[in-house]
Amino acid sequence: MNILMVSHDYLPNIGGIAAHIYNLSLNLVKLKNRVIVLTSYKERKKSFGFPKKFPAYFPRVNNGIIEFHFPYPGIICRENSKLWSYMERWVIQILVKHYKIDIIHWHTYDADYLALEKIRNIPKIFTNHSSMFIKDFEIDKKKTLKKFYFADAVITPSYEILEKTKMTGFKKESVFYIPNGVDVNMFYPEQNKKMHLRKLLSIGDNQIVAIIARRFVEKNGIHVLVSALKILIKKHEGDLNKIAFLFTGNQVKSDYAEKMMKELNVLKDEGLDIRFLGNVEYKKMPDIYRMADISIVPSLIEATSLTVLESMATGLAVIASDIPGINELIKNYQNGLLFPKSDPEELAEKLAYLITNRERINTLGELARKYVVQNYTWEKIAQKTLNVYHTVTKNVNNLPKDQIKLGV
């Protein structure tokens, strides 16, 4: 099958959707499909004109995935503008014809739909990853439908988005739940490497390390963690020399991010071991996780959390908000710890519990790894997605069932 993936978010971007598309595409290629990814050129100019790096127009092959990075033509053309949609549609039509595309699969809720809604005679599938959809749904659930009403099917990585998508008025029989996956051969624990990496950062052998792989945006709940750390200082000051907090993520420029940085630096001055690692390439993230013992995910809203899956696969004890998209992965006190959303007191207590019960860190990490290996490998996710592709193409093209062969 010839598959065209369309998304503004893709590697080398750092984030869950970019990683999802790459890993799904890679495993679809392993199932003997041809996958073409169309994404946006990442080095935008602030003035009018095309980027100077002309090779971005041409495809490159990355582990069997054919990638096209389409450039932005300057500030007059935004991702969701009509001008951009005309240009993107033109490129999509060229790729459909050249590669004899069987199905288009797009992944961006707030972009791409303007280009795709007018492309006819080819099946289209939308994966609804977006927490923005959840926010928009609460305001006007019917209005969200305009961004995917023309899809032949919608895939959702969480049950919350599944139910909300059905409530928009989209045809219920064409909404499918397929969770995110994780590359368990990329994200795995390795004790010897863990100690070596810690020495590079001058982290003590017996020190507990907590990783916070989150952008500093409000929905990620960094302020909840900051409040929890203030509580820890007051209630558990004697235990805080046992733990280091490593922050990593694509930090956006905003008043919120600036405020969080200031508050964390104050806590650092008060004696907390806080380190900022900045942006880390996706291929280097396994080593960042391996340095840690605990992963903290204090999100207020999640479509589904790749950070949680990657942390669990690497054998970390995860402390996360008890919200849809996360509580589908973590069973409290079985393979991780959950705390009520926006509750810094409970988050502080969960942290204190692990700091003073180190053996539980190891036990929860082992059980977390076992759980994702059994249920969330990308090989399984790719096969489920391929099954949806064939269901949709059969329905759209009205092909006899015996003519459909999976993986071809």
215 Cβ contact list (under 8 Å, min separation 6): 15, 249, 250, 251, 252
To the question of domain 191-375 being in CATH 3.40.50.2000, the answer is: yes
Residues sharing a CB contact under 8 Å with residue 366, sequence separation 6 or more, in sequence order: 315
**pLDDT single digits (tens) 208-238:** 999 999 989 999 999 999 999 999 988 877 7
Q: How confident is the model at residue 169 (pLDDT cuts 50, 70, 90)?
A: very high
Residue with tokens 């863990």: 194
pLDDT for position 408? 25
Question: How far is C-alpha 142 from the geometric centre of its chain's CA atoms?
Answer: 25
CA distance 30 to 11: 19
What is the average pLDDT score of the chain?
88
Q: What is the DSSP string of 327-391?
A: TTT--BTTTBEEE-TT-HHHHHHHHHHHHT-HHHHHHHHHHHHHHHHHH-BHHHHHHHHHHHHHH
* Residue 403 CB burial class (10 angstroms; 0-12, 13-18, ≥19): exposed
What confidence tens digit (pLDDT) does each residue in 64-122 have?
Answer: 999 998 775 544 455 557 777 888 899 999 999 999 999 999 998 887 898 999 898 89
pLDDT in tens, 30-47: 999 999 999 975 544 443
| DSSP secondary structure letter of residue 54 | G
List the chain domain ranges.
2-181+377-403, 191-375
Instruction: Quote the tokens at residue 261.
Output: 């940085």
C-alpha–C-alpha distance, residues 12 and 267, integer Å:
32
Residue 305 C-alpha from the chain's centroid: 6
Report percent pLDDT > 90 for the chain: 67
Q: Is pLDDT at 386 greater than 60 in this prediction?
A: yes
Count CA atoms within 13 Å of residue 338 on its CB side: 18
Q: Which fold has domain 2-181+377-403?
A: Rossmann fold (3.40.50)
Residue whose C-alpha is closest to residue 4's, from 124, 118, 115, 108 = 124
Strand (E) or helix (H) holding 392: helix 378-397
Contacts of 301 (CB under 8 A, 6+ apart): 131, 134, 135, 219, 323, 325
